[in-house]
Amino acid sequence: MHKYLVVSDNHGRDENFLRVLDLEENLEGIIHCGDFEGTEGKFAIAADCPVYFVSGNNDFFSTLKRELEFELCGHKCFLTHGHHFLVSMDLENIRCEGIARGADIIFFGHTHRPVAKKVGDMYIFNPGSLSYPRQEGRKPSYLVLFIDDNGDVSYEIKYL
């Protein structure tokens, strides 16, 4: 079983990310959906595994890419912060972009609200925010993604 941590929108506050790293063991990778606000270097050092990062709308001086495509266990992934795809309105634009790129897993942030859904053969994930959650209950959230040796995907949204 392959295990990946998906986080977003910490906005310069790293305490909860460090807590999550203590909680989640045996990670094969970390996916950050943007809005570090200058702390991406700390993430890379603390991670101790491969990291996939993109810049968000508040990462003004970041040299990170705004979009990233990569593969995880045979799945083509598309990672972006989401603000350029109007994700605060609905998921149709980002879903269409994922289709155009041949992705079957999309990761995004920006809304500070967790989303985990399957639409056809495509998974769409937003881990919410580790620092400034906006969903009901307002608990910091993240997502743990599992991909088994057959390529089957499972996931869990977790709250601090």
CATH of the domain at 118: 3.60.21.10
Amino acid 7: pLDDT: 95
Task: Calculate the average pLDDT of the chain.
Answer: 93
DSSP letter string, 6-23: EE---TT--HHHHHHHHH
Residue 83 pLDDT > 80, yes or no?
yes
| pLDDT higher than threshold 90 for residue 36 | no
Burial 144-156 (b: 16+ CB within 10 A, else e): bbebeeeeebebe
How many residues belong to the chain? 160
Q: What percent of the chain has pLDDT over 90?
A: 81
Q: Can you give the residue range of the structural domain that contains 45?
A: 2-159
Q: What are phi and psi of 5, to 5 degrees?
A: -100, 130
* Torsion from C-alpha of 17, 19, 25, 29, nearest 10 degrees: 0
Q: Residue 111: is its pLDDT beyond 90?
A: yes
* pLDDT band (50, 70, 90) for residue 132: very high
Greater confidence, 39 or 128?
128
Specify the pTM: 0.94
